[in-house]
């Protein structure tokens, strides 16, 4: 199953202009993204792990752990970087509702920004938690690519999958407790230049056309698990990690980018 929201994301770039940090754009932005639906306080069910200040604006780890409240189940999780040119930065749609979910991804942070994680339960309730990230002022979405363009295209679509125990121990994500005992973690490394459309070729001085990871479908043991919709906020050669049930034995990944390139990868645990 494939869901794309690129057209909606691009409309948001023009419909919701960036505002100063002291005048956050969240009220108008959230109304545009979620059709003015009510967003409930999710601080008790969503733990965000983000740096106070980025060490590298072009590759910043953002993570969140979500536990569905009161016997509900999760249907979707959305990461919003409010002041990024494409604010809706990653959307995780679950093929089967989940009681809990963890994700971590390497993101571009274009400038100081509030960030929000919104969890939607299968009964239509929206829960939101927020954080804030300061940057070093690199303007990551327009920063020159870190690799040669020909080299990036030659390896585009290569993927590596790792499966390990979900880490724990001392981070803010442990506030919800117990997740590491029940789930594994899948680490997905994608070779992709993730061109934002705002970057300039340093030789020709022409803008590089937009091309990014649009959709990542992850199947577990032959059944659908999650579809992730990406954006230009994903870093160059992004790494995306997420929790999977402890019983998982095989992982199949299909990546599609905005140029229509499709690549696949599979990982099985030893003995399967």
The lowest-confidence range among 24-28, 70-74, 165-169, 221-225 is 165-169
Mean pLDDT rounded to a whole number for the chain: 86
CA distance 33 to 43: 20
What pLDDT score does 214 carry? 98
The lowest-confidence range among 6-15, 86-95, 125-134, 201-210 is 6-15
Average pLDDT over residues 3-22: 39
- DSSP assignment of 232-272: TTBPSS-EEEEEEETT--EEEEEEEETT--EEEEEEE-TT-
Query: Is 80:62 a contact under the CB 8 Å cutoff?
Result: no
Query: Is 55:128 a contact under the CB 8 Å cutoff?
Result: no
Domains and CATH numbers, the chain: 6-264 (2.60.40.2470)
What pLDDT score does 86 carry? 96
The lowest-confidence range among 105-109, 128-132, 180-184, 192-196 is 180-184
Q: What are phi and psi of 234, to 5 degrees?
A: -65, 140
Higher pLDDT, 227 or 183: 227
């Amino acid at each position: 199953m494939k869901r794309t929201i690129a057209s909606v994301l691009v409309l948001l770039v023009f419909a919701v202009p960036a505002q100063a940090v002291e005048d956050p754009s969240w009220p108008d932005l959230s109304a545009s993204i979620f059709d003015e639906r009510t967003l409930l306080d999710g601080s008790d069910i969503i733990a965000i792990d983000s740096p106070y200040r980025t060490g590298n604006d072009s590759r910043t780890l953002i993570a969140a752990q979500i536990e569905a409240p009161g016997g509900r189940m999760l249907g979707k999780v959305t990461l919003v970087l409010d002041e990024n040119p494409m604010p809706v930065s990653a959307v995780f749609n679950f093929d089967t509702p989940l009681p809990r979910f963890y994700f971590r991804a390497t993101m571009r942070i274009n400038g100081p920004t509030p960030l929000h994680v919104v969890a939607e339960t299968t009964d239509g309730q929206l829960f939101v938690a927020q954080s804030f990230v300061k940057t070093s002022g690199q303007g990551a979405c327009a920063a020159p690519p870190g690799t040669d363009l020909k080299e990036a295209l030659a390896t585009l679509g290569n993927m590596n999958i790792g499966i390990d125990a979900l880490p724990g121990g001392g981070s803010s994500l442990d506030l919800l407790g117990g997740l590491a005992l029940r789930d594994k973690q899948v680490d997905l490394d994608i070779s992709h230049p993730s061109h934002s459309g705002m970057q300039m070729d340093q030789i020709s001085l022409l803008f590089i056309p937009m091309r990014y990871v649009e959709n990542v479908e992850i199947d577990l043991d032959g059944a659908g698990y999650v579809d992730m919709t990406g954006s230009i906020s994903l870093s160059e050669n992004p790494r995306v990690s997420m929790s999977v049930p402890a019983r998982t034995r095989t992982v199949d990944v299909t990546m599609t980018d905005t140029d229509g390139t499709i690549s696949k990868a599979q990982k099985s645990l030893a003995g399967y």
